[in-house]
Amino acid sequence: MRTELRGKVAIVTGGTSGIGRETAVLFAKAGAKVVVAGRREREGKETTDLLRTAGGDGFFLKTDVSRAADLEALVLRTVEKFGRLDIAFNNAGIEGNWIPIAEQPEEDWDQTIAINLKGMWLSLKYEIQQMLKQGGGGAIVNMGSVAGLIGSAGAATYIASKHGVMGLTKAAALETAKSGIRINVVCPAVIETPMGERLFGTPDARKFALGLHPLGRFGTPTEIAEAVLWMCSDQAAFMTGQSLVLDGGMLAGIKAPA
């Protein structure tokens, strides 16, 4: 069955590359008008070119999700241009610096939490406000991670931010369920994106990370984007407050040695 978003209006934060870009293009192919948000203008315009090539309509707005004024303006501009907001994929995030807690500067914590967690809260705040103003209804997917479900030595700040996203998603879903707004979270393991390359690009790091995935490979942006598309569609109409894990088997348990 083909997933349809015809007539819907969507926002994708962190839409300048990787999973965000792929999701924006899939939204456009499914018939949605798409507003792409991010901090990098050139890459954002590249994404909007791609969604227009795919037959879609949309625009890019430079946005820092850690700033309330930017998120408020993003939703306002979306409604000014397309009249409403039906879907949001809150994908913006950073990995921060992965170093032990005892060695980590306070500014590292502040930056990662500001973007990954405060930015998620601000995104939800203004998206929900608009959806309620329209009379309710809508679908929001937050970008989580397997890091929101496990611990990992040396990545405490990132882990904390993603655990926060998991709790925030559940609370937001409960607050909005009676208004017909569905809020869920997608939780990938390592995906072939620029972030994945930064974290696991060296031969040793790649070998280690691949060993955590029983399927023996990393995921692709398209695989995550397809899941987000489904979660935002009417095909997932009975799903809210839930996490969808796409991890190549990582969380299933300990893989037996070869």
Q: How far apart are CA 227 and CA 213, in angstroms?
A: 19
Give the alpha-carbon dihedral of 166, 129, 72, 91, to 10 degrees: 30
> In angstroms, rounded to a whole number, what is the distance separating the alpha carbons of residues 240 and 156?
28
Q: Whole-angstrom Cα distance, residue 145 to residue 166?
A: 9
Q: Give yes or no: 158 in active site.
A: yes
- 110, 137, 156, 171 from 239: Cα distances, Å: 33, 13, 30, 14
AA letter at 59: F
**From 27, 60, 158, 218, active-site residue:** 158
Q: Which of these, 42, 38, 34, lies nearest to 6 by C-alpha position?
A: 34
Find out whether 94 and 112 touch, Cβ atoms under 8 Å: yes
Question: Active-site residues: which are they?
Answer: 158
